[in-house]
């Protein structure tokens, strides 16, 4: 069965003419239903063998979307054209009536459009991210929900969680939510932490409006949607590509300094490989499945597969531990649900820095996690993100906490402020402890950036062994670290932070090392263009990204445009500056203007970008030569 779900302000339809001989009896005249989830439905030939299963699965999907979008009514609208293999009319009608009956039994407001008629209709779609969804349903469930996913989720629901706020003084405050209120901890000085708690307890990842960074990423000509691809895949314009590349280089640099060995592994894997199949069956991900000429494969959703297969084939001694492997995956893939896709926050193709540490035992893993915690803080500070911008959450199995009572308090002390803690009564996932650093955006949604996990399962699954001091072969413990989160999500966080700063009355800027243009020279007229070119050449020799606004525009217009592009330093060059030998430099972040010599400007920029990766200007130096990519 195929269904198309449209959340609408209204649908208005009118039966015009019978399409089949046995069309339902119906009253003529228009019908209008307001605030409706309209379900265009096509029952297929394959659905006829198990109609009750189809009805149950369709009702489940319709209810799920209905509850997410908070519609008031449901309209079941027969629409045979969705399928190339429709069922018989009688079978289709019986299934649609069954769906209607089940939904009515749930006390929902349901209207079913007449079956077997040509109908005219008008519909007004609401246009939010969840307002247009499609589902492909069979007797086992929704096609596209990976095999076993529903069973895995059901088992996960059996986990019993206790929620706490842990404070740096070692105390644990148990919290609970009731009637929209959270009890057990005073959040008056921890507004973002409260938002994280509400986000996690709600268990909803869907978005109903575009986060502000989407408008910014397009207006600044950084990133844009690619209509010629699958949703969740993006195009990067020159400025956005430069920023993305610099972020990748920064994370990689920090990981190499930490002592990780950089590797590269394939993006696709055999779905029938014993270790991989076992993992997929237990923890089904939303993977892309592909049929090659030789076998069925899936696109990776992390670097785990390649690194674990590589480690399985390696000869490892206790002297090599912790063994640190790192890969920047271009790309990892996850078929996220359409309603969860939200610009750079959640995608289907993403760049993930992934670092595993093979450790001799839990004790070494805990020590290594603390080291990696410090590395991750250095990584995040480079993006301009500090603990003021992030909130910590920790998840652990109760038995691990009892056996290792010092580890959670040590992590929270290192964080330096209260953290959200979820304690599971038993282990379901491959890890027994993990921490996540969450960015809270302008819509109060939380997005995980840094995360590290203690994995006690995959060494056995992949047959990974090391030789210990006693010359015996033993299973290691594995740490899974992303020091930054996906690179795209870092860009999202930087842009969302800038938006919130702007909303608070500040001028948003990129960290200087990430700014596509670090300094712009604005000659008052063509007469001063040669001088601007000369200054630009001096700055370029120092590795500074400088451009020149040589357009025939007023100086006011040039300054405004530079401000709109978030250029960090804006320099006016005219008669006054020529006579004084100093340049009028406007610092966007503070709004202050200062007269400075070119050498002084150079020193300020070089000091600010010291230790960071660098790249040349991503666009032509003269603005008159530039292409307009968006707008």
Q: Are 267 and 300 in contact (CB under 8 A)?
A: yes
Q: Does pTM surpass 0.85?
A: no
For the cut 70, the answer to whether the pLDDT of residue 225 exceeds it is yes
Burial profile 534-552: b = 16 or more Cβ within 10 angstroms, e = fewer: ebbeebeeeebbbbbbbee
Work out the burial of residue 327: count CB atoms within 10 Å of its CB; fewer than 13 is exposed, 13-18 middle, 19 or more buried: buried
Cβ-based neighbours of 209, under 8 Å, separated by 6 or more: 128, 129, 443
Question: For residue 142, what pLDDT is reported?
Answer: 56
Structure tokens at 602: 């150079």
Burial profile 436-445: b = 16 or more Cβ within 10 angstroms, e = fewer: bbbbbbebeb
Averaged pLDDT for residues 553-578: 95
Q: 320-356: per-residue pLDDT in tens?
A: 999 999 999 999 999 887 778 889 999 999 999 999 9
Q: 369-427: per-residue pLDDT in tens?
A: 999 999 999 999 999 999 899 999 999 999 999 999 999 999 999 999 999 999 999 99
Domain ranges of the chain: 2-143, 161-268+301-494, 519-625
Q: Is 359 helix (H, G, I), strand (E, B) or coil?
A: strand
What CATH code is assigned to 161-268+301-494? 3.30.930.10
Question: For residue 151, what pLDDT is reported?
Answer: 47
Cβ-based neighbours of 332, under 8 Å, separated by 6 or more: 267, 299, 300, 301, 302, 303, 349, 350, 351, 352, 354, 486
Cα(251)–Cα(375) distance, integer angstroms: 10
Q: Are 373 and 397 in contact (CB under 8 A)?
A: no
Give the 3-state DSSP-derived string for 85-100, with helices as H, strands as E and coil as C: CECCHHHHHHHHHHHH
For the cut 60, the answer to whether the pLDDT of residue 587 exceeds it is yes
Q: Are 568 and 591 in contact (CB under 8 A)?
A: no
Q: Mean pLDDT of all residues in the chain?
A: 92
Q: Are 360 and 380 in contact (CB under 8 A)?
A: no
Lowest mean pLDDT among 195-204, 282-291, 311-320, 550-559: 282-291
What CATH code is assigned to 519-625? 3.40.50.800
C-alpha to C-alpha distances, 452 to 263, 394, 524, 533, 549, nearest whole angstrom: 19, 10, 53, 48, 46
The confidence band for 210, taking pLDDT boundaries of 50, 70 and 90, is confident
Label residue 531 left, alpha or beta by phi (over 0 means left) and psi (-120 to 50 means alpha): alpha
Averaged pLDDT for residues 596-624: 96
| DSSP secondary structure letter of residue 299 | E
Q: 131-167: per-residue pLDDT in tens?
A: 888 888 887 665 544 434 444 555 566 778 999 999 9
Q: 505-549: per-residue pLDDT in tens?
A: 999 999 999 999 999 999 999 999 999 999 999 999 999 999 999
Question: For residue 133, what pLDDT is reported?
Answer: 86
Cα(126)–Cα(585) distance, integer angstroms: 47
Work out the burial of residue 447: count CB atoms within 10 Å of its CB; fewer than 13 is exposed, 13-18 middle, 19 or more buried: buried
What CATH code is assigned to 2-143? 3.50.80.10
Q: Are 243 and 234 in contact (CB under 8 A)?
A: no
Burial profile 103-127: b = 16 or more Cβ within 10 angstroms, e = fewer: beeeebebbbbbbbbebebebeeee
3-state helix, strand, coil in the chain (%, to 5): 35, 30, 35
Q: 420-447: per-residue pLDDT in tens?
A: 999 999 998 899 999 999 999 999 999 9
């Amino acid at each position: 069965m195929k269904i198309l779900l449209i959340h609408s302000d209204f649908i208005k339809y009118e039966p015009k003419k019978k399409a089949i001989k046995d069309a339902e009896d119906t009253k003529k005249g228009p019908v209008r239903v307001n605030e409706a989830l309209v379900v265009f439905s096509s029952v297929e030939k394959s659905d006829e063998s198990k109609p009750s299963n189809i009805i149950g699965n369709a009702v489940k999907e319709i209810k799920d979307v209905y509850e997410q979008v908070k519609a008031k009514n449901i309209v079941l609208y027969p629409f045979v054209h969705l399928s190339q293999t429709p069922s018989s009319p009688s079978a289709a009608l019986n299934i649609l009536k069954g769906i209607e009956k089940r939904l009515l039994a749930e006390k929902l407001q349901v209207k079913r459009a007449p079956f077997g008629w040509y109908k005219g209709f008008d519909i007004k779609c609401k246009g939010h991210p969840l307002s247009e969804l499609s589902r492909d349903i069979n007797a086992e469930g929704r096609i596209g929900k990976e095999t076993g996913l529903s069973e895995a989720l059901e088992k996960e629901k059996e986990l019993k969680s206790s929620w706490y706020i842990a404070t740096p003084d070692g105390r644990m405050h148990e919290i609970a939510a009731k009637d929209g209120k959270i009890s057990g901890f005073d959040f008056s000085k921890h507004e973002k932490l409260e938002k994280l708690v509400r986000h996690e307890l709600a268990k909803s990842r869907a978005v109903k409006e575009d986060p502000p960074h989407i408008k910014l990423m397009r207006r600044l000509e950084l990133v844009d949607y690619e209509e010629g691809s699958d949703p969740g895949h993006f195009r990067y314009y020159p400025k956005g590509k430069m920023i993305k590349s610099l972020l990748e280089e920064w994370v990689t640099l920090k990981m190499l300094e930490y002592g990780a060995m950089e590797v590269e592994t394939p993006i696709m894997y055999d779905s029938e490989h014993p270790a991989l199949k076992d993992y997929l069956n237990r923890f089904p991900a939303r993977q892309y499945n592909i049929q090659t000429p030789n076998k069925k494969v899936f696109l990776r959703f992390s670097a785990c597969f390649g690194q674990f297969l590589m480690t399985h084939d390696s000869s490892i001694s206790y002297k090599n531990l912790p063994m640190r492997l790192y890969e920047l995956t271009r790309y990892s893939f996850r078929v996220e649900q359409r309603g969860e896709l939200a610009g750079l926050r959640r995608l289907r193709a993403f760049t993930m820095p992934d670092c595993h540490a093979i450790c001799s035992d839990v004790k070494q893993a805990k020590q290594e996690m603390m080291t990696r915690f410090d590395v991750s803080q250095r990584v995040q500070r480079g993006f301009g993100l500090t603990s003021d911008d992030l909130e910590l959450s920790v998840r652990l199995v109760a038995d691990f906490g009892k056996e290792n009572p010092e580890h959670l308090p040590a992590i929270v002390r290192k964080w330096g402020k209260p953290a959200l803690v979820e304690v599971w009564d038993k282990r379901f996932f491959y890890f027994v402890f993990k921490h996540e650093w969450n960015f809270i955006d302008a819509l109060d949604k939380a997005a995980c950036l840094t995360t590290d996990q203690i994995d006690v399962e995959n060494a056995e699954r992949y047959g990974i062994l090391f030789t210990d001091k006693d010359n015996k072969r033993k299973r290691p413990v594995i740490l899974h670290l992303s020091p930054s989160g996906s690179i795209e999500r870092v860009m999202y966080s930087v842009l969302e932070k800038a938006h919130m700063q702007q909303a608070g009355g500040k001028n948003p800027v990129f960290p200087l090392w990430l700014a596509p243009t670090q300094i712009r020279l604005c000659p008052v007229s063509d007469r001063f263009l040669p001088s601007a070119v000369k200054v630009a050449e001096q700055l370029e020799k120092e590795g500074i990204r400088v451009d020149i606004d040589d357009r025939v525009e007023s100086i006011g217009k040039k300054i405004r445009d530079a401000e709109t592009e978030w250029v960090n330093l804006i320099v006016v060059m005219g008669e006054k500056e020529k006579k004084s030998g100093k340049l009028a430099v406007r610092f966007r972040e503070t709004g202050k203007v200062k007269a400075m010599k070119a050498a002084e400007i150079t020193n300020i920029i070089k000091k600010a970008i010291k230790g960071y990766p660098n790249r040349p200007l991503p666009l032509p130096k003269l603005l008159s030569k530039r292409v307009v990519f968006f707008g």
